[in-house]
A and B are shown apart, each in its own frame.
Chain A
């Protein structure tokens, strides 16, 4: 089963659509034309770059290379989590908490999937390891970013409520319980929604790709179900860890609310 290879002309036709959209945006004065074009160029360059990197990794299967690329991906995801915060934590915490919770959840879940479920030889075969880790990180990143954003926003908005409870002798842990739960839910809702809607509203991207590449639909579906479960658990665990760490960091050893630990 061979897939149809895309030529430069094929891609150009699709690119013309983006250009037409850009012109329309200019006419309507939407102010997004520049962003749209830059994003389109970035997509092309970044994907080509990762294409070459993947090609190199597939040709040179080695655990060391895989470890390096995994850490690089994790760092980018960690930076992205921080960049999405309106009021990130000051100092190393801003980057550290998101990155650590992503590491704990995605790396554990991905390792389990590679060694126990897929069980290829060797288990770190990059064709499986990298796309899997990429999807895990991408989704977990969103969950953690949403959870932490909700946590810090709510803590700022509800400072009076939180401190009213502290004044009455509640611990910081008690005083932020409602917000903490709400933030965890927030981080998990997107993946719950996409599991619920999968197949009905949209065909998930990975499955679409496999089908386009010629896999039998049922094989693609089984992989997609696996991925959904892995992503849901990775995102869920990651969000819980990040929000627990984040809410802990909002209080000091004297149970004072420390909003000064967030950037303005």
Chain B
């Protein structure tokens, strides 16, 4: 089982933080907004310049080309962005089972981005990041914009992926009920950085 290690990662906006996660594990990070949870995920995905060690099985991130790193450590941003016109400009090689599980069909791929609702965009963004088959997924409030029914579907899809692939999930959530449902371990993000909560 591969293991993602983050040791004393920090930058201008981010307090020193450390965590470790194995494939097949789901950890939930919660904490007040504006504390830097999104920035932590961005730093781990190497989108922002940072200090400290990040690596998979003792191979540091900068020994792996950036493009490959981000395929292996997939980041799902809180707000999805779409650069092309059609859904199919963004999502390739997706199996219809996954599409169906979030209420879409093959036909969805021919939809224009303009006609998608916020919730549809969010669910499609989740499917989009899964097509890379990442070993670790950094999820920035993936269900914040979804109705309760979709929330459960997304949780199931992501946990299934977590166990079957297997993959490690780092899941940022404000929803305590959700944290109870999905978390193997829980972290609290505070001024001083990341702290593991004993449950």
Contact = CB atoms under 8 A, between A and B. Distances in A.
Interface of A: 158, 160-171, 178, 252-257
A70 to B, nearest CB: 40
B83 A158 contact: yes
A167 B132 CA distance: 10
A164 to B, nearest CB: 4
A171 B67 contact: yes
A256 B79 contact: no
**Which of A158, A163, A166, A168 has the largest number of chain B CB atoms within 10 A?**
A168
B59 interface: no
Given A163-B47, A256-B46, A256-B48, A169 B83 contact: no
Contacts of B81: 160-161, 163-164
B83 A254 contact: no
A158 B84 CA distance: 12
B79 A169 contact: no
Contacts of B128: 168
* 7 nearest CB pairs, A to B: A169-B71, A164-B81, A160-B81, A255-B66, A161-B83, A254-B66, A167-B75
A254 to B, nearest CB: 4
Interface string B72-94: 00111101111100000000000
B38 to A, nearest CB: 12
Nearest to A164: B81
B14 to A, nearest CB: 15
Given A254-B62, A256-B46, A167 B82 contact: no
Nearest to B79: A160
A256 B47 contact: yes
Interface residues of B, number: 23
A257 B129 CA distance: 19
Nearest to B41: A167
Contacts of B22: none
B124 to A, nearest CB: 12
Given A161-B81, A256-B46, A168 B66 contact: no
B70 A164 contact: no
Contacts of A254: 46, 62, 66
Interface in B116-152: 128-129, 132
15 contacts: A158-B83, A160-B77, A160-B79, A161-B83, A164-B82, A166-B70, A167-B45, A167-B77, A168-B71, A168-B74, A169-B68, A169-B71, A171-B66, A255-B66, A256-B48
Given A167-B47, A256-B66, 10 more contacts: A160-B77, A164-B81, A164-B82, A167-B45, A167-B129, A168-B128, A168-B132, A169-B71, A171-B67, A252-B49
Contacts of A160: 77, 79, 81
A169 B64 CA distance: 12
B70 A167 contact: yes
A204 B31 CA distance: 66
A99 B23 CA distance: 51
A178 B89 CA distance: 13
A165 B132 CA distance: 12
A255 B67 contact: yes
Nearest to B12: A260
A35 B153 CA distance: 64
Contact of A161 (B45, B82, B132): B82
A1 B130 CA distance: 78
A111 B81 CA distance: 47
Nearest to B68: A169
Given A163-B47, A164-B82, A256-B49, A170 B129 contact: no
